Amino acid sequence: MRKRLLYLIMIGLGCLLLPLGALTATAQPEPEPKTKLLEKSLTMYELDREIARLSGEEKLLDKRIEETSGKVKQSAKLVEEQQQKTEKVIRSYYTGERRSLLLALVGVRSLQDALYVWEQLQTLLDNDRQTIDDYKQRYQTYKTEQAKLETDRRLLADTKAAFVAEKEKRLQAQEEVDRLLAASKNREQLEQEMNALRTSWEERGLPLFEQYFASLSEAMQHLPELLGQNSGMISIKGLAPKVTIGDEQLNRFLQQKSKTLEGFSFSFQDNAIMAGGKSGNVAISIKGRYIIENKPNNAVRFTIDSLTFNGYAMPESTAKSLEKRYDLSFYPTKLAPFIQATEVKIATGTMTIALKIGL
């Protein structure tokens, strides 16, 4: 009887603990509503900035397309006029209109007459050549303007598509913020904190990012100096040299180049680059990587995967904006004009760039 009772008690306890264990195993931690709300408010602010930028870019492209369209029409008209002149010149050689001058040169009776006819013939030939050259130049101008117009039209289409996408993201972020505020008992306090965070980002966070990126962009132009000072970073095997840079070496070099970067550092991790800095109560961090780019030029380009400001994740548009404004790339041709990068590998503490020598 006791054994049976003990058995039933154990089964009961197991049933009680089973749901708890299952819940513990499947539950996923979620950000606190307040943290999520503040992060979304920053996202809205940055999306508003990106939407304003895209709107301005769209207006500039509209104006540029209008101007270029006018130039294309004018170029087409000039090409048509010059084409008629060129066709007339070419036709004259086929119909024999220029033959009379050649016959006149053959039939002259004095050296003075020969020189005169020769000068006239030279002048005519020069004018004919200039007519043909003018046509070629105006046609090339027309083709250049036409290509520029097509490029601007593609850019405008891309900009409009990006504008629509960012507006949709903005709408979704607004709906999420409204939902979180509606569920809170301290709406007024949260709205004050949202405004304070946006102000902090605008006045201190974004300027700190811009300050670091501007200094990094300038310092990265001198990266070949680091390699020149440390020949051990370069290993040569046949026509395939490699450059291996340690994160500590890179940090020392960058901080020597700019005092602004004394509070900023890179950390090479497995297939990723972490970077960050702090100024007062503002902390920023960057996660990214270097990739090989061959157009328009061969380069080892830094691309940003994520940004955070005081622990809050920033939207993709912020990262892309900084990428576009500040060039953190490394150009192998600055080492030598015949060198190209072919591969980048990032491991804990080091970054290795494989190069090739093109002869």
Q: State the distance between the two ends of the chain, measured CA to CA, in whole angstroms.
A: 93
* pLDDT beyond 60 at 323: yes
φ, ψ of residue 165 in degrees (nearest 5): -65, -45
User: Which has more pLDDT, 230 or 245?
Assistant: 245
Interval 13-45: pLDDT, tens: 343 333 333 333 333 444 577 888 999 989 999
* pLDDT beyond 90 at 326: yes
Interval 81-129: pLDDT, tens: 777 766 666 666 555 555 555 555 555 555 565 555 556 666 766 676 7
d(CA 180, CA 174): 10
Q: What is the mean pLDDT of residues 40-55?
A: 90
d(CA 3, CA 5): 5
Band (pLDDT 50/70/90 cuts) for residue 218 is very high
The pLDDT of residue 113 is 55
* pLDDT beyond 50 at 290: yes
The pLDDT of residue 306 is 94
Interval 133-168: pLDDT, tens: 777 777 788 788 888 888 888 888 888 888 888 899
Tokens of 358: 């093109």
The pLDDT of residue 313 is 93
Do 278 and 263 form a contact (C-beta atoms < 8 A)? yes
d(CA 338, CA 239): 11
User: Which has more pLDDT, 244 or 141?
Assistant: 244
Residues 6+ apart with CB under 8 A from 235: 241, 242, 244
* pLDDT beyond 90 at 275: yes
The pLDDT of residue 125 is 64
Q: Report which of 143, 150, 168 is spatially closest to residue 54, judged by C-alpha positions.
A: 168
Residue type, 120: Q
Q: How many CA atoms lie within 13 A of 197 on its CB side?
A: 25
Residues facing 235 on adjacent strands: 242
In 3-state terms the chain splits into helix, strand, coil percentages (rounded to 5) of 65, 20, 15
The whole-model pTM stands at 0.70
Query: What is the DSSP code (8-state) at residue 201?
Result: I
φ, ψ of residue 48 in degrees (nearest 5): -60, -40
